[in-house]
Structures are given as C-alpha cells and as structure tokens.
Chain A
Amino acid sequence: MYRYDDYDRAMVADRVAEFRGQVERRISGELTEDEFKPLRLMNGLYLQLHAYMLRVAVPYGTLNPDQLRVLASVARDYDRGYAHVSTRQNFQFNWPKLKDVPDILDRLADAEMHAIQTSGNCIRNTTTDPFAGAALGEVEDPRITCEVIRQWSTFHPEFTFLPRKFKIAVSATEEDRAALAVHDIGLQIVRSDGGEVGYRVLVGGGQGRTPHLGVWIRDFLPQAELLSYLEAILRVYNIRGRRDNLYKARIKILVDAMGSEAFAEAVEEAFVAFRKVGSGGSVDLPQAERQRISTFFKPPALPAVGETSRNNVPSNARFALWLKHNTHPHREDGYSSATISLKAPGQAPGDVMAEQLDAVAAIAEKYAFSDVRTTHEQNMALPHLRTDELFAVWEALDAVGLGEPNHGLISDIIACPGLDYCNLANTRSIPIANRIQERFADLERQATIGELKIKISGCINACGHHHVGHIGILGVDKKGEEFYQITLGGSADENASIGEIVGRGLSTDDVVDAIERMVARYLERRLSDKERFVDVYQRLGAEPFKEVLYGEAVAA
C-alpha cells in the first residue's frame, strides 16, 4: 500500500497542528461557530444529533493491521468501543469530544491516516473495488489510479470550493463493484484493441433527491492523459455548475442541463487547451512518477499452492454458506478473496467493535498478507487468502462475530445512520434493517432467496443508496410519523439502474411484511434459482410486486 513520504508526513502533521489551534480558539471564544464550522468540516468533524462525528479517510478502502489497531484504540479510548464503515469506504466515530479530536488526529497521523477530504465541497475519497489487486480479470490495480487522483486532488486550490462535493470511483474489471454509474466521475480501466491501458470515462451520476445514472463521455482515454481530462471536467463544472441552489449544484444537474454531448464537447475543449501547454505545463503525471506510485501497490508474493485445496474443507453448514456467498475468485490459482460481513443480526450495518478490529488485524497478519479493505457496502474484505486456509480464517472471524455468511443476501443491507444519529434524517433506517434481518434470520432461507440487495435511506439525501437497491426503502416524514416508500429494480453494478417507486409509503409496522410478501411473490415467479429478484423484476416489471405490496393479493 501507499506509504507516506516526508512531504506527506509534514503536510498531515501541519494540518493537525493547525486544527488543534482552531479548536483551542473555538473553545476560548476567539472563533464563533459560524467561523469554526467550515474549519471543522474540512477536518471531517460533523455535529450530529447526540455528539460530534469524526469521519476518517480510508483512501480507496485499503488498510494495514497497524492502522486497524489504531482505529480500535480510538474507538476504545475516545469513543464508545465501536466504529462504523461508511459507504465511501471510510471509518466514522460517533461519540468523540471536541477537545479530544486533535489528539485523535495526531494518533491517526502516526499511523498514516487523516480526516482530509471527508467533508466539504471538495473531491472526496476516491473509492474502488474492494478486491483491487486480487480480482480475476482485472486490467490493472485500480488503486494506482486512485492514489494518483488523491495526490492530484488533495488541497488542489482550484477545487477546494467546488459548487458541491465531488465523488470519483475507479474500477478495473467488467463486473462493477464500485458503483461507477452513480458517481460524479466513474473511471473504468480498460485495454484498447491495441492492448494499451486507458480509461472509459463516465460523468454525471449521483443519487440524492434527483438520482441520475452517469453517461459515458469517453470510450478511451490514454492513461497518461488522465489528470488533464479530470482537470478539464472539474474546470467545466467549477465554472458552469450552479451555486445558487444547493439542490441543483451537483455535476449531474449540469450534465443534464447542458446535455451530455455539449458537456463532453466543453470538456474536450478545455482538455485540448491543457494538452497544448505541453510537458512541464500540463498537469499530467510523468510516467516515472506514475511508476513510482505503482510500486506501492505491488501484489504480495503469493507462494504457488495450486487449485486443489478449495475442496479440502471440513463439513460445516455455516462455513459452506460462507464459502458460497462470502468468497470470490482470485486471479491466482489456490487463492481466494473474502468479504467480512458487518451485518450480523441485530447489529447496525457497518458497525464494528474495537475488539473485532483487533481480531481482523491479527487474522490479516496471519492469513491475509496484512492487507485489509473496507467496502462501499459497509463491509470489510480480505483480498488475498490461501483457499486451503479459508476454514481457519472463517473460524477465527466467526469466533468474534464476523463470520456471518450473508454477503449479497437479503440481510446484507446498506443502511444510513438515519434518525438514530443523523441531523438531516427524517426517519430511522437501522431499526428497519434489523427487523428485516430478524424476519429473514434463517440462513438457509436467505440462501434460497439468493442475491437480493436491500438499501435503506432515512431521508431523500439517499446516503443509504436506496435508489440502487434491488429493493430500496426511503424513509419519509408524514406529520411527524415515520413512513417508508419502496422502490424496486435499482442496481449499482455494471447494469446499473435507478429503482422505480411502487406506491404510497408503508408504516413502520407494515414495511417488513411487505418485503416478505414481495420476496414470496419473487419465489413464485422466478424461472429458476439462478434468476435473481432483480432479474424477475426486469422480466416482469413492477406489477406482480405491486399486487402484493399492501397485502390485498394475500387477502384475496
């Protein structure tokens, strides 16, 4: 993984020292809250319903065991014993005290972590495939591109005060595990017919109150020209994006208003101008520097083990389900990747206890070449595991409550913090997730249902990604009461789609019954167990599900 050089270390240390001074001045009364708020937000510090919330950057979701232990220590020493994995692959702490935050940031800096670019109208943490560097069929490790973007975008003076926040995702496989289509910019690393590595470029995706799928504006961008092209996109957005209306300030609104062709032309015009400046003036990265960055992402030395070991596993029903649902093909024979579910029954999706973080650190050192990832689906992952050690890995995970075999199943729910924590939320999300998990607690039943992605947001800001859930659940406030609106058919993968609203909102008591009826309808109508819930929706449309949404069909 990327390691700090002296410049990085000095930059982060200076930033912490600066924030320490700002906190002291706020406490002493030298700064008003209006003056302090933008400063704390630029350091990842929000104020939520009950307490401050500190969001810690995990660039492209990559962590080493030492960093996990530091995060665990922060949870223990400054929080309430747990942390939370966010949908941008970051970590969040829900209970820090203001005066402690500079000390927390100092501790994080010692482990090469920070909270920069986790808030504000800047380019946020670039996200990617949690199996980057290990995935079968990958063109190259997408984290190299993510790190290039990180170095280019951090403190970039032109892009520090954009019209709104800006999110970039990178993927390097045909299967999209990074939700490219709902990002401001999505980059798919591809190989040209001639074998050259470059990018397919998408712009204008996003969720929130006006969901948009991004549009592809470049089929092939040479790798060496990446930063000029990104800078051209950002330049067009920064100049032409709206600043008069918070809800119309994202790039998706600009692309929609201009039309994707006109937007692409404007980008090309700016891009050509950048390129004319030529070497030394263009922002493009010299090949030698890209090469230097890529050395940080050299894959671990994986001893040859052959492909015979996957079948040599003990008979254990729960492990068999984990093997089926939580493991993924690795590019090397004899190796696998695995998802660590943070969706155990009754747990807030994405929450992880300090002792669990310590356990994952130890497991990663023993079995996973000290490489740990976070996922945008609020889970964690171990990208490099010997297949013949999967049982031992799962046993160790299961011993600390991290062996739930439910990845991609109905209980593997994305849920925003909702009204239990969030200052913007209208309704709670986590209790709805827990009720669904409880109703479908039977793992065999979950396995029979197969892949079904439920995503829950407690308000229209859509932090729980409900627009791209196979079943999306949006909490709405009706005169102080919680109701939940259902969307169907959303998807965040390579066949991305925005879910369709299927009717009036359901009460808290009704929503889980409605989910169960729709799942039963799916099982009745599917042609085989290979046909997923979302496939049946795409084949038959919403009507069969609408029929059972409110229970009338059952009564009839």
Chain B
Amino acid sequence: MSQTAIQQAAVTPAQKISTGGVKKGRNTGTKVITANDLFSGAVIYWTSERTWTEDMAKALVVSGDDAMAQLTVAISDEGRSVGPYLMDIDEDGSPAGRGKLRERIRDAGPTIHPEFARQRKEA
C-alpha cells in the first residue's frame, strides 16, 4: 500500500455495517455473508456460485469493496434468504471478532441441546 493510501485509510474509517442481531461493526478484515433460510430459518452462508449453503466451510470469503458488492447481490436474493449480513472470520475460516460466540452458536446449534446440532445440507 502506498504512503498516500495508508494516510487515506487512517483518516477514512471503514464503512459501518450490521454484523448480525443488534451488533454493528466496520468493514475491515475477512468476512463471509450469512443469513437465515427463508423456508426453514436455518443458518446459511453465501457461496462463490452465488447460492447458499448450510456449511460454513463452503462459504465465499470476501473483504473490502468486494464484500459490499457480494452483500448487495446476496441481499437481492430475497427468494431464499432473510437478512444477509457480513460476519467476521479469522485466518482458518472460523468466526472471529465480537460476534464470535454468536456465530459459533449459529453454526453449531443451541449449546444446551446437543441433539439439535445442525445437520448441514445445501440450501
């Protein structure tokens, strides 16, 4: 990154975005797009094929302007999803940031009912 770009980044904060529920964050770092399935309410993730999966490992990893562009496309897919937003992930693709626990529980199911752990399938 050029010196000018670094200076611009320092004075222009990353865009404020919804990060699920009532949480807000900034569009920094790597993200995946997640939502709930319109029909079942199940947790789903946006893929590189512009479709949805229940398997977070198959989610498209995005960042920066590309993240916002992909989110715009995902939001327009109203026929299958409800409420897409960008969630933080770390280098190994696991939920990260302030929403880490929330996203882990969304991915795995309620911690109090192991029998209801998610059985993933393509949305």
Binding site for B on A (CB under 8 A): 26-27, 29, 32-33, 47-52, 80, 95, 97-99, 348, 419-421, 423-425, 427-428, 430-431, 434, 477, 479-482
In angstroms, Cα B36 to Cα A95, docked, is: 13
In angstroms, Cα B104 to Cα A419, docked, is: 10
- The answer to whether B79 touches A98, judged by C-beta atoms less than 8 angstroms apart, is no
Q: For A421, list chain B residues within 8 Å (CB).
A: 110
Task: Give which listed residue, A29, A50, A97, contacts B78 with CB less than 8 A.
Answer: A29
Closest to B20 in A: A423
Q: For A427, list chain B residues within 8 Å (CB).
A: 101
In angstroms, Cα B105 to Cα A223, docked, is: 50
- The answer to whether A33 touches B41, judged by C-beta atoms less than 8 angstroms apart, is no
- The answer to whether A480 touches B82, judged by C-beta atoms less than 8 angstroms apart, is no
B83 within 8 A of A: yes
In angstroms, Cα B105 to Cα A51, docked, is: 12
In angstroms, Cα B20 to Cα A425, docked, is: 11
- The answer to whether A419 touches B83, judged by C-beta atoms less than 8 angstroms apart, is no
Interface residues of B in 36-94 (CB under 8 A from A): 36, 38-43, 78-79, 82-83
In angstroms, Cα B111 to Cα A428, docked, is: 9
B102 within 8 A of A: yes
Task: Give which listed residue, A29, A430, A479, contacts B79 with CB less than 8 A.
Answer: A29
In angstroms, Cα B37 to Cα A48, docked, is: 11
B116 to chain A, nearest CB (A): 6
A205 to chain B, nearest CB (A): 24
Known: A49-B102, A50-B43, A52-B41. A33 touches B109 (CB 8 A): no
Binary interface encoding of chain B residues 24-43 relative to chain A, with 1 for a CB under 8 A from any of its CBs, else 0: 00000000000010111111
A sample of 30 cross-chain residue pairs with beta-carbon separation below 8 angstroms, ordered by A number, consists of: A26-B38, A27-B39, A29-B79, A32-B78, A33-B82, A47-B36, A47-B82, A47-B83, A48-B41, A50-B41, A50-B42, A50-B43, A95-B41, A95-B116, A97-B39, A98-B39, A99-B39, A419-B101, A420-B110, A420-B111, A420-B112, A423-B20, A423-B21, A424-B21, A425-B21, A477-B98, A479-B98, A480-B97, A480-B98, A480-B100
Q: For B116, list chain A residues within 8 Å (CB).
A: 50, 80, 95
Task: Give which listed residue, A26, A50, A99, A480, contacts B110 with CB less than 8 A.
Answer: A50
- Chain B contact residue count (CB 8 A cutoff): 29
Q: For A33, list chain B residues within 8 Å (CB).
A: 78, 82-83
A358 to chain B, nearest CB (A): 20
Which one of A51, A348, A481 has the highest number of Cβ atoms from chain B below 10 Å of its Cβ? A51
Please report whether the interface of chain A is mostly helix, strand, loop or mixed according to DSSP.
loop
Compute the total of residue contacts between A and B using a CB distance below 8 Å. 73
Q: For B105, list chain A residues within 8 Å (CB).
A: 49, 419-420, 428
Beyond the given A27-B38, A51-B41, could you list 7 further A-B residue pairs with CB under 8 A, ordered by the A residue number?
A49-B105, A52-B41, A419-B102, A420-B105, A420-B110, A477-B98, A481-B101
In angstroms, Cα B43 to Cα A382, docked, is: 39
Please report whether the interface of chain B is mostly helix, strand, loop or mixed according to DSSP.
loop
In angstroms, Cα B75 to Cα A49, docked, is: 18
A434 to chain B, nearest CB (A): 7
B65 to chain A, nearest CB (A): 25
Closest to A461 in B: B22
B31 to chain A, nearest CB (A): 16
Task: Give which listed residue, B41, B101, B102, contacts A47 with CB less than 8 A.
Answer: B41
B90 to chain A, nearest CB (A): 12
- The answer to whether A98 touches B38, judged by C-beta atoms less than 8 angstroms apart, is yes
A413 to chain B, nearest CB (A): 13
Q: For A99, list chain B residues within 8 Å (CB).
A: 39
Which one of A27, A50, A479, A482 has the highest number of Cβ atoms from chain B below 10 Å of its Cβ? A50
Q: For A348, list chain B residues within 8 Å (CB).
A: 112
B22 to chain A, nearest CB (A): 6
Q: For B109, list chain A residues within 8 Å (CB).
A: 50
Task: Give which listed residue, A27, A49, A434, A479, contacts B43 with CB less than 8 A.
Answer: A49
Closest to B99 in A: A480
Q: For B113, list chain A residues within 8 Å (CB).
A: 420
Q: For A52, list chain B residues within 8 Å (CB).
A: 41
Which one of A98, A348, A434, A482 has the highest number of Cβ atoms from chain B below 10 Å of its Cβ? A98
Q: For B43, list chain A residues within 8 Å (CB).
A: 49-50
Q: For A420, list chain B residues within 8 Å (CB).
A: 105, 110-113
